[in-house]
Homo-oligomer: A and B are copies of this chain.
Amino acid sequence: MEDGLIVVKVGGSEGIDYAAVARDAAALWKQGRRLVLVHGGSAETNRIAEALGHPPVFLEHPGGLTSRLTDRKTLEIFEMVYAGKMNKLIVELLQREGVNAVGLSGIDGRVFEGRRKKAVKYIENGKLKVRRDNLTGSVEKVNTELLNLLLGAGYLPVLTPPAISYEGEAMNTDGDTAAAQVAVQMQAEALLLLSNVPGLLRNFPDESSLIAEIPADRVEDFMNFAQGRMKKKVLGAADAVKGGVGRVVFGDARVEAPISKALAGAGTVVR
């Protein structure tokens, strides 16, 4: 399995060193490592949405997860930042390192396909409400044929939300769970979820309370320790290990050689 595919998800929060991610990805790629990158763009989307006078709104769901309210205008801003600015930034960084990267959103070639949520439940002022205008959904089907076509021809795929519904509508989707689906459906050796923390912390935000290892059959028990966006990473990890991915690592994307370090076991390893 040492030459299996590695799926690397790089978050979109503040502090992430994309140049370091690209340098490390290029070094591994040139050693013959097969990689697929998946990235976010949340913090930059918030900034651009504010600047364009359409500030972000987040919905709080029963169970404690939150998500971006995605009306059509938000979706267009989301596409500008994720598929335009962030995706092309990462592709350009890889090209400068001599790697022939190809950036795709989930709607290109239906790379991330799934069911749109027709009704989204959320809590406002303590009351349960429902919205039907939210353009969101979850990835069920990854176009592994297209990814294998590109990998086989020597291209490094760089993937980003949005996803596409079975009816052909663009929709916001969570990048961590999309990356988990890529890892499962591509039968990846490992899934690395890199963000602006060193891993899962027992006492967030105390970085010295890092949880070094989680047994694969106990991932959901550790949900209590997950704060904010880390909740979706833990859910993604649970999906991935259930789906047969050998290991999942929550690693730090603020450091030099972030992919190599996570592969070597730095961060929180789920296996």
Contacts and interface: CB of A to CB of B under 8 A. Distances in A.
Nearest to A41: B84
Contacts of A85: 76, 79-80, 84
Nearest to A93: B168
A169 B108 contact: no
A204 to B, nearest CB: 33
Contact of A155 (B52, B109, B162, B167): B109
A112 B106 CA distance: 22
A51 B53 CA distance: 9
Given A80-B85, A83-B87, A85-B79, A100 B110 contact: yes
Nearest to A167: B96
Contacts of A87: 83-84
Contacts of A95: 107, 110, 164, 168
Contacts of A92: 107, 164, 168-170
A146 interface: yes
Nearest to A96: B168
A92 B146 CA distance: 17
Given A85-B79, A85-B80, A101 B108 contact: yes
User: Which of A76, A84, A145, A167 is most buried by chain B, counting CB atoms within 10 A of its CB?
Assistant: A84
A70 to B, nearest CB: 14
A160 to B, nearest CB: 10
A127 to B, nearest CB: 34
Given A52-B51, A53-B51, A153-B146, A88 B79 contact: yes
A180 interface: no
Contacts of A96: 167-169
A110 B102 CA distance: 8
A141 to B, nearest CB: 13
Given A76-B89, A102-B108, A103-B108, 19 more contacts: A51-B52, A76-B85, A79-B84, A79-B85, A80-B80, A80-B81, A81-B84, A84-B85, A84-B87, A88-B107, A92-B169, A92-B170, A100-B109, A101-B109, A102-B104, A102-B146, A146-B153, A146-B155, A149-B153
14 contacts: A48-B80, A76-B85, A79-B88, A79-B89, A80-B80, A80-B84, A83-B88, A88-B105, A88-B170, A92-B164, A92-B170, A96-B168, A101-B109, A104-B104
